[in-house]
Amino acid sequence: MCASGHGRAGAARERRADLTAEGYARLSYRQADTRWKGYAPGWDLHQLRHTAISARAANGYTEVDLKRFSGHTSLRSLEVYIAHNREAAKRKAREWERRRDASD
């Protein structure tokens, strides 16, 4: 060990497998979900993830962007978010048209 306590002098520092490139610890899904529930009781990580992906889909992110963000490997798995937001967009358009027509 060198004087600084970081292994052999001149040896390349190895990155621990349980840390991200930025040095943050990786948590298992269960660990992360348990921590999250301490901040938002009644919500789980899947709901948070679904909301984050859906919000991006609603704000015009492309399917490729959504795949990259979510880590999904197929567009088919994203259809649930994309289809939901298409329906929401249609509902908003119909609502806007009704309000417009009512004000004419």
6 domain residue, yes or no: no
What pLDDT shows up at residue 73? 85
Tell me the per-residue pLDDT of 19-59, one tens digit each, with 9 for 90 and over. 778 888 878 888 888 888 888 888 888 888 888 888 888 88
21 domain residue, yes or no: no
Threshold 0.85, pTM exceeds: no
39 domain residue, yes or no: no
- The parent domain of residue 66 ranges over 44-103
Tell me the per-residue pLDDT of 58-79, one tens digit each, with 9 for 90 and over. 888 888 888 888 888 887 888 8
Q: What Å distances lie between residue 32 and 60, 71, 72, 84, CA to CA?
A: 28, 17, 19, 27
Question: In the 3-class helix/strand/coil scheme, how is the chain assigned residue by residue?
Answer: CCCCCCCCCCCCCCCCCCECCCCCECCCHHHHHHHHHHHCCCCCHHHHHHHHHHHHHHCCCCHHHHHHHHCCCCHHHHHHHHHHHHHHHHHHHHHHHHHHHHHC
18 domain residue, yes or no: no
96 domain residue, yes or no: yes
Overall domain count for the chain:
1
Residue 16 pLDDT class (50, 70, 90 cuts) = low
